[in-house]
A = this chain, B = another copy of it.
Amino acid sequence: MSPIPPPFPEFKIALLGFGNVGQALAELLLEKKRDLIAKPGIGFRVVGIGTGTHGWAVDPRGLPLQDVLDACRAGGDLERFSSSPIHDSAGFIKKCGADALVETTPVNYQTGEPALTYLRDALRGGMHAITANKGPVVHGYRELSSLAHRNRVHFYFESAVMDGAPVFSIARCGLPGAVVSGFSGILNSTTNLILSRMERGETQAEAIAYAQSIGIAESDPSGDLDGWDAAVKVAALATVLMDIPLTPDQVQRTGIRGLTPDLIQDAAEKGQRWKLVCSAERDSSSPLGISAAVQPLLVSPESQLYNITGTSALLEITSDVLGTLTLIEDDPSPRTTAYGLLADLLNAFRN
With both beta carbons as reference points, the residue of chain B lying nearest to A179 in the complex is identified as B35
Question: Does chain B have a CB within 8 A of A324?
Answer: yes
Question: Does chain B have a CB within 8 A of A321?
Answer: yes
Task: Give the segment of A111-119, A221-229, A279-287, A338-346 that binds chain B.
Answer: A338-346
A177 contact set on B, CB distance < 8 A? 32, 35-36, 39-40, 342-343, 346
Complex alpha-carbon distance, A169 and B178, angstroms: 14
Q: Which of A36, A302, A339, A350 has the most chain B CB atoms closer than 10 A to its own CB?
A: A339
Question: Does chain B have a CB within 8 A of A347?
Answer: yes
Find out whether the CB atom of B173 lies under 8 angstroms from the CB atom of A347: yes
Question: Does chain B have a CB within 8 A of A327?
Answer: yes
Task: Give the segment of A80-88, A120-128, A137-145, A328-336 that binds chain B.
Answer: A328-336
CB distance from A53 to the nearest CB of B (A): 28
A164 contact set on B, CB distance < 8 A? 321-322
Question: Does chain B have a CB within 8 A of A304?
Answer: yes
CB distance from A79 to the nearest CB of B (A): 32
A28 contact set on B, CB distance < 8 A? 321
Knowing A301-B301, A304-B307, say if A175 contacts B343 (CB, 8 Å). Answer: yes
Complex alpha-carbon distance, A172 and B343, angstroms: 10
Question: Does chain B have a CB within 8 A of A297?
Answer: no
Question: Does chain B have a CB within 8 A of A170?
Answer: yes
CB distance from A110 to the nearest CB of B (A): 31
* Range for the number of chain A residues in contact with chain B: 35 or more
Chain A interface main SS type? mixed
Complex alpha-carbon distance, A328 and B318, angstroms: 12
Knowing A323-B331, A325-B329, A329-B322, say if A173 contacts B166 (CB, 8 Å). Answer: yes
Question: Does chain B have a CB within 8 A of A260?
Answer: no
Find out whether the CB atom of B321 lies under 8 angstroms from the CB atom of A335: yes
Complex alpha-carbon distance, A335 and B164, angstroms: 30
Find out whether the CB atom of A321 lies under 8 angstroms from the CB atom of B302: no
Find out whether the CB atom of B335 lies under 8 angstroms from the CB atom of A330: no
Knowing A164-B322, A165-B322, A327-B326, say if A176 contacts B307 (CB, 8 Å). Answer: no
Find out whether the CB atom of B322 lies under 8 angstroms from the CB atom of A178: no
- Contact for A169 among B32, B174, B303, CB less than 8 A: B174
Find out whether the CB atom of B339 lies under 8 angstroms from the CB atom of A322: yes
With both beta carbons as reference points, the residue of chain B lying nearest to A178 in the complex is identified as B339
A39 contact set on B, CB distance < 8 A? 177
Find out whether the CB atom of B165 lies under 8 angstroms from the CB atom of A343: no
A333 contact set on B, CB distance < 8 A? 323
With both beta carbons as reference points, the residue of chain B lying nearest to A324 in the complex is identified as B330
A301 contact set on B, CB distance < 8 A? 301, 307
A169 contact set on B, CB distance < 8 A? 169-170, 173-174
Find out whether the CB atom of B40 lies under 8 angstroms from the CB atom of A343: no
Of residues 254 through 302 on chain A, the ones whose CB sits less than 8 Å from some CB of chain B are 301-302
A303 contact set on B, CB distance < 8 A? 307
A324 contact set on B, CB distance < 8 A? 328-331
CB distance from A141 to the nearest CB of B (A): 15
A40 contact set on B, CB distance < 8 A? 176-177
With both beta carbons as reference points, the residue of chain B lying nearest to A330 in the complex is identified as B324
Complex alpha-carbon distance, A323 and B328, angstroms: 11
6 A-B contact pairs sorted by A residue (CB < 8 Å): A32-B177, A169-B173, A175-B343, A176-B343, A301-B307, A304-B304
